[in-house]
Amino acid sequence: MLYPDNNLILLHLINRSSPFEIQEIQASLNWLVAATLINSTFVIYSTQLTAIGYEGPVTRMVGLSILFKIIFNFILIPYLGAEAAAMATFITYVLLSAGYVAYRDWE
């Protein structure tokens, strides 16, 4: 194998990227880092709801978030390119987290 480590592959791609491509990569990573922070902050609500017996609503919320992500990808990617997929991930995590909090407070 030419690159035994995935980090080396990433470095190889970045070293061969144009300034515009690097800017696109940075923008996408910004959205993905924000999405990860949102998800890691609010995933505890999913765990709490599952622990108290609300597996069904959590599963439906996750299913809806997958559907929303697919819809957002179809809408955004043709206009915004690769960054749109990261943006759709962020939007989906925000909606999913809001759903967890709202359901927990509602019950």
pTM for the full model? 0.80
pLDDT means over runs of 10, the chain (107 residues): 59 77 89 95 90 92 95 94 93 94 82
| Residue type (1 letter), 22 | I
Rounded Cα distance between 42 and 38, Å, is 6
Q: Is 35 helix (H, G, I), strand (E, B) or coil?
A: helix
What distances in angstroms separate CA 25 from CA 10, 42, 90, one per listed residue?
11, 26, 15
| Residue type (1 letter), 106 | W
